[in-house]
Structure formats: C-alpha cells, structure tokens
Chains A and B, each alone.
Chain A
C-alpha cells in the first residue's frame, strides 16, 4: 500500500481564517480523496481530486468552502476556508488501491475556536 503523509497533523485556528492541509503520497496515483470525520461519527467524503481536472465535490460541499488543488500525481491540498467551530473535525486524505479499497493518511485534527 502507498505511504501517505499529511501536514499539519493538528492545528487550532481562529474563526474566519483558512487552513491548507497537504497530502503527499510516495507513489503516483490517479485518484485522491478528501474526507471529514466529525467527532463520534464516521467518514464523509468531501471530494475526489484527479490530477489535471477540477475536483468533484459531494453533496453539501462546495469549492468556495473547500478548494482543492492537485498539481501532480503525488500531491494534493485541501483548504478549509472562512472557518467556523462547526469545521472542527479530522480531515483525511486517501488513495485508491487495486481492488477499490482505500488507504488513508494519518489525518489532520482541526479545532476552530
């Protein structure tokens, strides 16, 4: 499986600011995914990021709030914009395996005050 790293691992931010989360993979992958896991809940897909095209967002998530970049086949960023306390969550990136499974990065724990 791919080795995935995320930066930062955690952050505490003020309301109204933005945070960019980086996801780095040790191999080239076509599809990368961004998820949110709110406290006590399971994972919710935010968007799918393909290199060279616009990210595809799930219902309830919009590009203005969660802009995504995918400049190459090993890297992606997710920005959480104009944050509010409701954005406090763990944000995870993942990549797809050979059999539709996904492998996850260690996550970014975000707290918005």
Chain B
C-alpha cells in the first residue's frame, strides 16, 4: 500500500465552482501535513500546511481527519489560475522525510 494516495482526477470544473478532493495516508504516526501545488514543468510550491483544527487561506480550506487518516483540500470560487496538480505531502514524527502523493489534477475552464 502506498504511503500517500490521491485521486488523480482530473477534476474539470467551470470558473467559480467549488472543487474538493481528498488524500489518504497509511501511517498513523504521521505528524505534519501539507498541500503543494505543481504547475506543468515547474517545481512544487507549498500551498498550505494542514493543521489539526483545519485551516483556511483565502479560497483554500484544508481539513485533517486523523481518525480516518485523510486530509482534504477545498477550493472555492475557482479561478483559471487554479489549474494545476495538487500534491498531498505527509511527514512522520521524528523524521525529516516527506512522502508525496501522486497528485490530483484540477483544470478550471472558462
């Protein structure tokens, strides 16, 4: 079983729509959680960290469910510029290594 699993999508949504997707992780000792955004032919960039209480950054909301071992990302009022691959990234306690999901592709159409 992969350490981090994501629905690859693609999620094709119109501008202004809300899109949400999840990521599951296998190791219950995981401690830190992140969403990264990767544009085509670019490096991954940190979108947001995911906190236990859930957190919001503008149109982006991240949630963590430790009991079911998943995290989610919700994008409200989608913009064309939100089109990208979103990587779910998990870090175990006492370990500097990151485990990456394969990514969820989101395409926002006009």
Contact = CB atoms under 8 A, between A and B. Distances in A.
Contacts of B96: 31, 48, 96, 100
B52 to A, nearest CB: 13
Nearest to B102: A42
Interface string A86-112: 000000100011011111111101000
Interface string B66-110: 000000000000000000000100010000111011110000000
A92 B43 contact: yes
Contacts of A103: 46
B97 A45 contact: yes
A60 to B, nearest CB: 14
Interface in B11-55: 31-32, 34, 41-46, 49
Nearest to A58: B97
A99 B49 contact: yes
A41 B49 contact: no
Interface residues of A, number: 20
A42 B91 contact: no
A43 interface: yes
Contacts of A96: 96
Nearest to B4: A42
Interface of B: 31-32, 34, 41-46, 49, 87, 91, 96-98, 100-103
27 contacts: A1-B46, A31-B96, A41-B102, A42-B87, A42-B100, A42-B101, A43-B87, A48-B96, A48-B97, A97-B46, A99-B32, A99-B49, A100-B32, A100-B91, A100-B98, A101-B32, A101-B34, A101-B46, A101-B49, A102-B46, A102-B98, A104-B43, A104-B45, A105-B43, A106-B42, A107-B43, A109-B41
